[in-house]
């Protein structure tokens, strides 16, 4: 299979898995504290990652790889999950999903800074149009209602873009699943310790949907999704494949409406459609 096509297919699968992250987090924070949810999902995924690395007898990363692995761990293992969990205490999953439309621009920007990619000027035009649609929606629909929630989501998007770009560049040397596994293992001792410290006093009061949310974000959002996503970014280009995130609001809004019964307004759908149209133009000028 052509490497570029393989990159897009892997990236699409990763994006599809990530689409369930915010709805799953939303149901989990109903019963779980956001800090516990963040460290617990990382600890569970870290134990699974350690088992994978030992099973397949992977060599330890070189000393030069430890710094980028630490950046990946801080950004996508801790930063993005914690910031989104805190944000979802103030905004709905449907509202927060629209902010994901900003991720392609953040990822492409860090792809230039960290991986040396150079998209053409027209690429930035399409990316900025999509991002402006998202920012305009946030200001018109919900910024005055929960500025804290929106600011937390904005910070989450920025730090996630850094983690995506850094991990994708490192995947070219270590491999996609190896990068996320080593980042999880690197943070595992701290995450396990914090999980024990923040453990709820009574697990009997935790509902079944919250447990399902924790299971999804631990297994799929924290591990399996990154296996496909980092491989896709490494194969097809960070800026180019990263534009698939413009499609993520569609799938996320669908899940929020069907599983959480949240109201998906016409402005939300209009913004999601607008940013999705930008992906074709941005992809064309990505290289």
Which stretch of 11-25, 67-81, 97-111 has the lowest confidence by average pLDDT?
97-111
Per-residue pLDDT tens digits for 158-167 = 999 999 999 9
Instruction: Quickly state the pLDDT bin for 4 (edges 50, 70, 90).
Output: confident
| Whether the Cβ atoms of residue 75 and residue 160 lie closer than 8 Å to each other | yes
The alpha carbon dihedral of 145, 103, 10, 81 has a sign of negative
To the nearest whole number, what is the mean pLDDT of the chain? Answer: 86
pLDDT band, residue 17 (cuts 50/70/90):
very high
Q: Taking residues 224-249, what's their average pLDDT? A: 87
Position 139 scores a pLDDT of 67
Please answer whether residues 213 and 28 qualify as being in contact, where contact means their C-beta atoms are separated by less than 8 angstroms: yes
**Residue 107 · residue 242 · CB < 8 Å:** yes
- In this predicted structure, the answer to whether residue 102 has a pLDDT above a threshold of 60 is yes
| Location of structure tokens 């697990």 | 203
Find out whether 156 and 91 touch, Cβ atoms under 8 Å: no
pLDDT score for 29: 92
Structure confidence at residue 283 (pLDDT): 65
Residue 166 contacts residue 75 (beta carbons within 8 Å): yes
pTM of the model: 0.87
Asked if pLDDT for residue 189 goes beyond 70, the answer is yes
Round the CA-based radius of gyration of the chain to a whole number and report it: 18
pLDDT value, residue 9: 93
- Predicted local confidence at residue 121, as pLDDT: 81
Q: Contact 94/228 with Cβ under 8 angstroms?
A: no
Convert the pLDDT of each residue in 72-94 to its tens digit. Answer: 999 999 999 999 999 988 888 77
Per-residue pLDDT, 93? 78
Whole-angstrom Cα distance, residue 241 to residue 132? 20
Please tell me the distance from the alpha carbon of residue 50 to that of residue 66, in angstroms, as a whole number: 16
In angstroms, the CA 67 to CA 166 distance is: 10
User: What's the pLDDT tens digit per position in 205-221?
Assistant: 899 999 999 999 999 99
């Amino acid at each position: 299979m052509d490497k570029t096509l393989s990159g897009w297919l892997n990236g699409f699968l990763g994006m599809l898995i990530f689409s369930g992250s915010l709805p799953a987090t939303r149901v989990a924070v109903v019963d779980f504290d956001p800090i516990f949810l963040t460290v617990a999902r990382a600890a569970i995924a870290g134990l699974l990652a350690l088992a994978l690395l030992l099973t397949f007898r992977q060599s330890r990363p070189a000393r030069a790889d430890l710094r980028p692995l630490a950046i990946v761990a801080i950004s996508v293992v801790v930063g993005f999950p914690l910031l989104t969990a805190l944000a979802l205490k103030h905004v709905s999953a449907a509202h927060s999903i629209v902010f994901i439309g900003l991720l392609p621009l953040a990822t492409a920007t860090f792809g230039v800074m960290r991986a040396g990619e150079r998209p053409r000027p027209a690429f930035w035009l399409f990316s900025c149009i999509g991002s402006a649609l998202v920012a305009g929606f946030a200001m018109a629909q919900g910024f005055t209602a929960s500025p804290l929630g929106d600011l937390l989501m904005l910070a989450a998007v920025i730090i996630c873009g850094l983690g995506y770009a850094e991990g994708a560049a490192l995947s070219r040397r270590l491999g996609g699943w190896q990068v996320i596994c080593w980042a999880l293992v690197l943070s595992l001792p701290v995450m396990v310790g914090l999980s024990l410290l923040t453990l709820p006093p009574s697990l009997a009061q935790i509902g079944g949907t919250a447990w399902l949310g924790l299971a999804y974000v631990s297994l799929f959002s924290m591990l399996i999704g990154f296996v496909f996503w980092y491989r896709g970014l490494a194969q097809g280009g960070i800026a180019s494949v990263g534009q698939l995130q413009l499609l993520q609001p569609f799938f996320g809004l669908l899940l929020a409406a069907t599983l959480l019964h949240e109201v998906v307004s016409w402005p939300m759908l209009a913004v999601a459609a607008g940013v999705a149209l930008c992906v074709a133009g941005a992809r064309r000028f990505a290289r």
